Chain A
Amino acid sequence: MESNGRPRRFDPRGLVELDVTVPQVSEIDGTSARFDARDLTIRQINMELRWLLYEQGVTDVTVLDPGARHSLAVGILTRCKITFEGSLGYFGCGMIDGPEIQINGRVGWSVAENMMSGVVAIEGNAGSLTGAALRGGDIVVKGQVGARTGIDQKGGTIIVGGDAGSMTGFMMQRGRQIICGNAGHGLGDSMYDGEIYVGGKVASLGIDCVEGEWTDADTEFVERKFRIHGLGSPPALTKFVCGKKLYNYDTLEPSERKLVL
């Protein structure tokens, strides 16, 4: 295929820059590999990961010293295990489908944004917008998270060991969140559906977020998730759901108001 005189190329893995050089600095041992990211650029780190996972048959990668850099391990679409020994910056592990990622450090804003499936486990704290537009898979944050956790969440589960900031679950449409600590103002504001479980205090509920009725299915779900991720026994939780008051637009237009009067 030709476009503007240059050959148009297509790569199913979504590699835009096909010509970028892979550093190939990893120590590969069978199906596992490790490399030091200290002297690599963000792009080189991501290329190295892709090279290992897609072309070298590696399924378990350890990345040393990621240095809190942004946009690492994004768009990985295969089953694998990735361990980061250190903190990530913003937009880490975004748009992934399949990997189990362990981060032995902290993450910045928008971790695991739009994840389709897999697990992202974070040992430390996370910034705001954790799991924005999450569609599937589990995000486990051992520490605290910032504001707007699971904004626009469409599936999957977010588990937070500590506190969560304001507007947690803002506009979420499906999926579940378990906040073991306290939640900030505007919890579940304008949520459409899904469940938010909170262990601590809620500063205030958002618009159309109400306390829900606890069922056996909730107990089963929470206990299962805590068991899978080795989080011990869950704390006493309160369930919050959508009040469904915003489902129908009941404010009258001026012309309609006239008719009613």
Chain B
Amino acid sequence: MCGIAGVIYRNGGENRLGRDMTAMLQSMRHRGPDSTGVALFHPPREELVMRVKLAEGPPDNDLELQEAVGRRRREVPARLRTGGAQITGTDEVNSYTVALSLRYDGELKRLVDLVESVPGVEVLSAGHALDIVKDLGDANSVARQYGLDTYSGSHGIGHVRMATESDVDIANAHPYWAYPFSDVAVVHNGQITNYFQWRRRLEHQGHRFASDCDSEVIAVYLAQRMQEGMALEEAMKLSIEDLDGVFTYLCVTQDELGMAKDELAAKPMVLYEGDDMVALASEEVAIRAVIDHEIDTYDPYESQVMVWSR
């Protein structure tokens, strides 16, 4: 089933981003208890922040994994330096995730490929403003583990996952970063039925896939289109023609939040556009989790693409 949510503030409210996303996703826990993830945007910084996953979970009592994670932890900075990046900060998020602040002017794809050439390592997100946080469990437990309550930012999207077509692990959890584009992420509710066609096509064009989840193809598809010079809205409109299946997805960039719905309108989306914020979610209860009064909402129609700027 899955549940998705997005929020963009118009008149302040930035300091609530982490809390609001958590509350929205927690209220849709029944739509997907397997994993929870968010893509949040803080004000852009000069440094590039790369969030790197070193393992699928805490290495706890697994001595071999502990050793492997230790090796990866040393190897990742080494490769970053080889790639020409200067590491200005290291945040040990938890025992299997690290966030590195970098000074780097070169091609992002080259650097990411270099990092991911370490076996078992995945770049969760890269950008000057984007942080992707995803893990197993419901929104409250992920928020607790990653300290989302105090996260402040302008806009974000989130996802609660009920796994149907691929494994329950972090690699297959949403949001997906639009490799190799900095500051772009996607969450999706539905199934993409021409996934393999598009995956093959995009792999031929040099894109990498970190998971077996059909939703990842949307992020990579949009990245490819934007690489061709399209604006987000244009790329999203084209995706409705190109992607088959049923889907409602949200995409975020540094300045924009977009929503696209398939031509059957088969997956729900409730939209609230207020003076203070735009909030979207698979269910109205999620929006009501952050707005404590009656609101006027509606369902966007089939094949509709909407983009809001912050």
Q: Using CB atoms and an 8 Å cutoff, list the residues of chain A in contact with chain B.
A: 67-70, 86-87, 89-90, 105-106, 108-109, 124-125, 127-128, 143-144, 146-148, 165-167, 184-185
Contact = CB atoms under 8 A, between A and B. Distances in A.
A124 B285 contact: no
B23 to A, nearest CB: 13
Interface in B286-308: 287-288, 294-299, 301-302
Contacts of A89: 283-285
Given A89-B283, A90-B283, A184-B301, A105 B294 contact: yes
B85 interface: no
Interface stretch (B10-18, B120-128, B211-219, B262-270): B262-270
Interface residues of B, number: 18
B268 A128 contact: yes
Nearest to B296: A124
Contacts of B270: 108, 127
A165 B283 contact: no
A128 B283 CA distance: 12
Contacts of A69: 285
Contact of A87 (B265, B284, B302): B284
A106 B284 contact: yes
Contact of A70 (B285, B294, B295, B301): B285
B296 A146 contact: no
Contacts of B285: 67-70, 89
B14 to A, nearest CB: 25
Contact of B294 (A87, A108, A143, A167): A87
Contacts of A67: 285, 288
Nearest to A126: B299
Contacts, number: 67
Main secondary structure of the interface of A (DSSP, over half): loop
Contacts of A146: 265, 299, 301
B264 A166 contact: yes
B292 to A, nearest CB: 9
A143 B284 CA distance: 17
A40 to B, nearest CB: 14
A109 B31 CA distance: 15
Nearest to B286: A68
Contact of A147 (B265, B283, B294, B295): B265
Contacts of B297: 87, 106, 124-125
Contact of B302 (A109, A143, A165): A165
A128 B265 contact: yes
A166 B287 CA distance: 25
A15 to B, nearest CB: 23
B268 A109 contact: yes
B248 to A, nearest CB: 11
22 contacts: A68-B287, A70-B283, A87-B284, A87-B288, A87-B295, A87-B297, A89-B285, A108-B268, A108-B270, A124-B297, A125-B298, A125-B299, A127-B299, A128-B265, A128-B299, A165-B265, A166-B263, A166-B302, A167-B264, A184-B301, A184-B302, A185-B263
Query: Which of A68, A89, A108, A167 counts the most chain B CB atoms within 10 A?
Result: A68
Contacts of A124: 296-297
A143 B298 contact: yes
Nearest to B294: A86
Given A106-B296, A124-B296, A147 B301 contact: yes
Nearest to A166: B302
Given A87-B297, A108-B268, 4 more contacts: A68-B288, A89-B285, A166-B263, A184-B302
Nearest to B300: A146
Interface string B210-240: 0000000000000000000000000000000
A147 B264 contact: yes
A162 to B, nearest CB: 9
A72 to B, nearest CB: 12
A143 B297 CA distance: 11
Query: Which of B268, B283, B285, B302 counts the most chain A CB atoms within 10 A?
Result: B302
A127 B270 CA distance: 8
A74 B93 CA distance: 46
10 smallest beta-carbon distances between A and B, as pairs: A68-B284, A147-B265, A146-B299, A125-B298, A166-B302, A127-B299, A68-B288, A165-B301, A68-B285, A86-B294
Contacts of A165: 265, 299, 301-302
